[in-house]
Amino acid sequence: MRFVLRTLGIWLLLLAMVAAVVDATKSLAGGGAWAVTPLGEQWRQLFPEMLDGFRQWVINTVGDWLWDPILLSILAAPTWVVFGILGVFLYWLGQKRKEVEVFIN
């Protein structure tokens, strides 16, 4: 299980790096102003119908309270930040734990 978490974390970190390079390339091509692509916009460009279906699924199964304040703020964040945070978190969860020796006198 740890191996799967570490591997998924590394893949998400690689996706974060790709998204950061895409934003940096847009920034350089646009005259130097920093261009940030939100996750929701990136998702809509790649899979337009899937985002609407995901919205309906969340509202129908969990409720509107999860979609409006929580998921919309995550979708408004830069893509590389969201993937980077998830990747670091999953890699941290999957790392090997060090054994602690406790000596009691």
Ordered by start, the domain boundaries in the chain are: 2-94
Asked if pLDDT for residue 13 goes beyond 90, the answer is yes
The torsion of the CA quartet 85, 88, 93, 95, rounded to 10 degrees, works out to: 180
Q: How many Å apart are CA 25 and CA 85, to the nearest integer?
A: 22
Model pLDDT, residue 53 = 93
Model pLDDT, residue 21 = 94
Asked if pLDDT for residue 30 goes beyond 80, the answer is no
Asked if pLDDT for residue 5 goes beyond 90, the answer is yes
> How long a stretch of residues is the chain?
105
Asked if pLDDT for residue 87 goes beyond 90, the answer is yes
Give the mean pLDDT of 15-24. 94
Check if the beta carbon of residue 89 is closer than 8 Å to that of residue 13. no
Q: Which of 5, 87, 7, 71 is nearest to 39 (CA)?
A: 71
Q: Which residue has the higher pLDDT, 99 or 50?
A: 50
